[in-house]
Amino acid sequence: MRRFDFTGGTAVVTGAAGGIGAALAHGLARRGSDLVLLDRDADGLDAVAAALRATGRTVHTYQVDLADAQATAAVAEQIRTRHPRIRLLVNNAGVALGGRFDEVTFDEFSWVVEVNFRAVAQLTHALLPALKAEPGAHLVAVSSLFGLIAPAGQVAYSASKFAVRGFTEALRHELAADGIGVTCVHPGGVRTRIARDARVGSGVDRVQFEDGRRRFERLLTIDPATAAEAILRGVARRRGRVLIGWSARLPDLLVRVAPAAHRHLLAAIGRAETRPRTPAQG
């Protein structure tokens, strides 16, 4: 398959109001793509779009809550009508939920799956004809570190991200004959708001949750722009999988070489990374 050509194509990016999505939009604009941006945050979306339009790129925005299947279907139809040829679709939007499976309601669990997986599959299905109409098109879905490993307290998130991983791997085989590339992305500790904005399960102890969230946020050290560049390099080279940061590459290696024991090794690494440092430790 030829290298992906960004110039002059239309790229659709979800979750584009901030974090990796906004960084991807800027990276795509620098590479000459026109943009279709989706997010539920209207103000953030407008700010990103204004900055991109100042560079001379064509930008269309759609405010949508991807947890709403009917709203997702409606916006997908609008995009397809306005953009019958799409060169790149990046399913980046995602949400998180803190709590063990027995500490969250099934509605809370379902909300994560709706945004992180159902919306990915729904948008892909709706926009696939537009991708097939554009020679050399490409599809990206952002999974997670937790689409490689599944820690306690992340049942909903891991279930949704493992689903994204399986979905994209199967699609890669199905779409190869159409000349459409497919990339699954597994970011490690990227510095976004997803942990800060995570919902808390109804049965979760809030004090313990906040303590865990603070410790987890210390591991989020990768700049979103760095992550976006890694993704776009992967797209250009038609890579099937992109791992971002040692916090994704190391767990991926451990789960391969120690499928039963990797949980204990990762727990030890996590404790070492989040332990307060003394001045002598740097």
Q: Is there a domain that residue 267 lies in? A: no
Closest CA to 94 of 45, 153, 39: 39
pTM over 0.85: yes
Q: Is there a domain that residue 104 lies in? A: yes
Q: Is there a domain that residue 27 lies in? A: yes
Q: Is there a domain that residue 162 lies in? A: yes
Contact 36, 13 (CB under 8 A): yes
Which among 4, 6, 157, 162 is annotated as catalytic? 157
β-pair partners for 199: 97
- CATH classification at residue 98: 3.40.50.720
Domain that holds residue 129: 10-245
pLDDT by position in tens, the chain (length 282): 899 999 999 999 999 999 999 999 999 999 999 999 999 999 999 999 999 999 999 999 999 999 999 999 999 999 999 999 999 999 999 999 988 999 999 999 999 999 999 999 999 999 999 999 999 999 999 999 999 988 888 899 999 999 999 999 999 999 999 999 999 999 987 766 676 677 888 887 777 766 666 666 666 678 899 999 999 999 999 999 999 887 788 878 888 876 665 666 555 444 443 343 333 333
Q: Is there a domain that residue 86 lies in? A: yes
Q: Is there a domain that residue 109 lies in? A: yes
Q: Is there a domain that residue 281 lies in? A: no
Q: Is there a domain that residue 208 lies in? A: yes
**What token pair was written down for 280?**
């002598």
Active site residue 62: no
Closest CA to 16 of 85, 91, 113, 118: 91
Task: Tell me the three state secondary structure of residue 54.
Answer: coil
Q: How many domains does the chain have?
A: 1
